[in-house]
Amino acid sequence: MAERRGERAEPTWPTVYQIRIEGHLGPAWTAWFSGLSISLEDNGDTVLTGVVVDQASLHGLLKKVRDLAVPLVSVNRLEPVPAPQPAEEGD
């Protein structure tokens, strides 16, 4: 049976997105952006990074960026990185 788009055979990990906008936002905006981390870049951009549970949540975050009236530079889905597994005894 063929896999449908969006289905994965391997385990799923949380989806992490990186949203880049022009201008600097202060750390007080973290709560408004659903707990995403806020990094201020030397070039004047702000990078919001964090887990986004689904596409509806992503669209909600993008609406918040729109409502701030700041230019959206990019939206990137980061590759999932599985959590390190504890070493078994004897390794």
Residue 8 covered by a domain: no
What CATH number corresponds to the domain at position 60?
Answer: 3.30.70
Does 1 reside within a domain? Answer: no
Total tally of structural domains belonging to the chain = 1
The answer to whether the beta carbons of residues 62 and 72 sit under 8 Å apart is yes
Which residues touch 40 (CB under 8 Å, ≥6 apart)?
A: 24, 25, 46, 47
52 or 5: whose pLDDT is higher? 52
Residue 2 has pLDDT above 80, yes or no: no
In a domain, 87, yes or no: no
| pTM of the full structure | 0.74
In this structure, how many other beta carbons lie within 10 angstroms of the beta carbon of residue 86? 7
Range(s) of the domain holding residue 61:
16-78
Write out pLDDT tens, residues 33-72. Answer: 988 999 999 999 999 999 999 999 999 999 999 999 999 9
Residue 33 lies in a domain: yes
Decide if 60 is inside a domain: yes
